Amino acid sequence: MPESNDFPRASIIEGVRFTAQVGVPNVIQGLFKKRELPTKVAGVARADLFGFMLIQGLVRKYGPGPFYVRVATDETLFVSDPADIVFVLGGSPEPFASDPPAKKAGMSAFQPDALTLSRDDLWHNRRAFAESVLQTGKPLHSLGSRMAEVAGEEAAGLSGEIGYDELNTGFQRLTRRVVFGDAAADDTGLTALLGTLMSAGNRTPGKAAKGYDELIERIAAYVDAAEKGSLVSLVAKAPHDDATAVPGQLIHWLFAMGDTLPANLTRALALIGSHPEQRREVYAELEGVDVGAARSIAKLDHLGGVIQEAMRLWPTTPMFGRVATSDITFPDGRVLPAGTQVLMSNLFNHRDSARIPYADRFAPGEWSRGDAGQSWSFNFFSHGPQGCPGAAMSVFLGQAFLAALLRRATPELISPSLNPSKPLPHGLDLFAIRIGLTA
Ligand code: HEM
């Protein structure tokens, strides 16, 4: 039993600073749809560095175990020790539900039926559906060959100087083709509609935004068509009923594959384009490989490590939370009251030099040869029963896309500058990245 039977508490003033430096910058940047201008300002202000330093100071003072910090008006339990992360994420979604109020109020604008907002039987119902279609846990999806073909075709459209916008345009097309089939390839209207609804989510309205019914109708039409070779062709055989709300599940797949994955791939290219030694290793691995063959692509472990390093260094989910559905007794006997929120910071955990010797370096070998893949400190895909069911597919699509691109061209980072011999910055403005592709 610990000395006190309650978790330590950060002071009121520390809570104010935490809210300002960690909580508020995330809200300004756009919780669900990153906004271009404020992201730039935040980057210039080195908000991520200041947020990191603040958390580091608090963990040194009150950690390494859980402690309370006030975020706006809520007393929130901050968790960063891997053993506590295992306890929390291993216990999701019950008793640690993943629908804390702000997330629910925001996400309801564009995906009120989302798996990540579901609890109890409804979560099990929707999770079984997602795992069946996405083939969670399988090293290679049964539609892997088709995905590789699509990735190769979309990567072929990129040349000259590129950044997130160019890459994302190609990737949105890839996403529509992989999820719905070729009939959706040019349905940019659907992607734009989802973008509008996600921007509405930034205002945390607590209910479906205008246009949601139209989005569902448009998705349902593709689900009904069930084009061969697409993910929706697998829906009929996957467990589902009315409660699953199938079109409502696919919304998450669209923005995670179409927005989040290309953001990470842009940063992966920035790393390859600025680190000559690691770039040589990437090209050595590609030597003689058929970059159109799914099985060969899936074996590109070093390239997979590059993608995961981009996600570790600059996580697209900087922090994430849970909420206690009942009073929860932690392993050391302390009790977290029902309704309390729990917060984990990937920005901090991924760079905590006290635990990670390569914290601020680009170290893809830690994934391909080391044990980074076993660490519960790295939660860009989360962990446990509620971990990302699309994780393996995301890495595979990234490998397929980058392998095809790198086979044709060599990337060189134009801006901003990243110096391989210095610690990498805590923030890397997605919209400032420019990469030159030389044939
Ligand atoms: C690089 C790309 C991706 C990243 C970084 C990512 C990250 C994450 C993270 C951090 C979570 C946990 C969120 C939380 O618990 O608060 C999550 C959950 C989820 N992800 Fe992904 N994801 C990616 C791609 C995908 C793709 C491509 C799909 C589907 C095709 C997908 C489907 C889901 C779903 C359905 C959940 C909710 C799981 C549940 O609540 O049981 N993700 N993802």
pLDDT digits (tens, 9 = 90+) for 262-316: 999 999 999 999 999 999 999 999 999 999 999 999 999 999 999 999 999 999 9
Distance 317 CA to ligand 1 centre (A): 10
Distance 388 CA to ligand 1 centre (A): 4
- Tokens describing residue 186: 């040019």
Distance 387 CA to ligand 1 centre (A): 7
Residue nearest to atom 13 of ligand 1 (CA): 382
User: In the prediction, which pLDDT does 110 show?
Assistant: 93
CATH fold of 12-438 reads: Cytochrome p450 (1.10.630)
- Tell me what the mean pLDDT of segment 168-185 comes to: 97
- Tell me what the mean pLDDT of segment 382-391 comes to: 98
Contact between 416 and 432 under an 8 Å Cβ cutoff? The reply is yes
Residue nearest to atom 43 of ligand 1 (CA): 388
Residue nearest to atom 16 of ligand 1 (CA): 320
pLDDT at 29 over 90: no
pLDDT at 40 over 70: no
Nearest to 231 by CA among 131, 134, 126: 134
pLDDT at 30 over 70: no
In which band, very low, low, confident or very high, does the pLDDT at 42 lie, cut at 50, 70 and 90? low
- Tell me what the mean pLDDT of segment 86-108 comes to: 93
Containing 84, the helix (H) or strand (E) segment is: helix 82-90
Residue nearest to atom 7 of ligand 1 (CA): 381
Residue nearest to atom 36 of ligand 1 (CA): 388
User: In the prediction, which pLDDT does 65 show?
Assistant: 97
Looking at the CA of residue 386, tell me the nearest atom of ligand 1: 41
- Tell me what the mean pLDDT of segment 87-115 comes to: 93
Kindly give, in sequence order, each residue whose CB lies less than 8 Å from that of residue 388, ignoring residues fewer than 6 positions away: 256, 381, 382, 394
| Backbone φ and ψ of 355, nearest 5° | -115, -25
Residue nearest to atom 18 of ligand 1 (CA): 388
Least confident of 56-65, 201-210, 353-362, 408-417: 201-210
Contact between 115 and 98 under an 8 Å Cβ cutoff? The reply is no
Cβ < 6 A, ligand 1 pocket: 98, 115-116, 127, 130, 134, 252-253, 256-257, 260-261, 264, 311, 316-317, 320, 380-382, 386, 388-390, 393-394
E strand segments, 252-409: 319-324, 328-329, 335-336, 341-345
User: In the prediction, which pLDDT does 21 show?
Assistant: 85
Q: Is 145 exposed, middle or buried (0-12, 13-18, 19+ CB in 10 A)?
A: middle
Q: What is the β-pairing status of strands 96-97 and 434-438?
A: unpaired
In which band, very low, low, confident or very high, does the pLDDT at 1 lie, cut at 50, 70 and 90? very low
- Tell me what the mean pLDDT of segment 223-237 comes to: 98
Residue nearest to atom 17 of ligand 1 (CA): 388
**Average predicted confidence (pLDDT) for the chain:** 94
Q: Could you give the C-alpha distances from 220 to 47, 173, 181, 209, 223, in angstroms and in order? A: 41, 18, 13, 18, 5
Distance 151 CA to ligand 1 centre (A): 20
Residue nearest to atom 11 of ligand 1 (CA): 388
Looking at the CA of residue 257, tell me the nearest atom of ligand 1: 27
pLDDT at 238 over 90: yes
- Tell me what the mean pLDDT of segment 167-189 comes to: 97
pLDDT at 35 over 80: no
Distance 381 CA to ligand 1 centre (A): 6
- Tell me what the mean pLDDT of segment 104-123 comes to: 94
In which band, very low, low, confident or very high, does the pLDDT at 48 lie, cut at 50, 70 and 90? confident
Distance 256 CA to ligand 1 centre (A): 7
Distance 253 CA to ligand 1 centre (A): 8
Residue type, 307: I
Residue nearest to atom 24 of ligand 1 (CA): 256
Distance 391 CA to ligand 1 centre (A): 7
In which band, very low, low, confident or very high, does the pLDDT at 381 lie, cut at 50, 70 and 90? very high
Among 79, 127, 313, 388, the mutation site with the greatest number of ligand 1 atoms within 8 A of its Cβ is 388
User: In the prediction, which pLDDT does 43 show?
Assistant: 62
Domain ranges in the chain are: 12-438
User: In the prediction, which pLDDT does 197 show?
Assistant: 94
Contact between 77 and 67 under an 8 Å Cβ cutoff? The reply is yes
- Tell me what the mean pLDDT of segment 4-32 comes to: 82
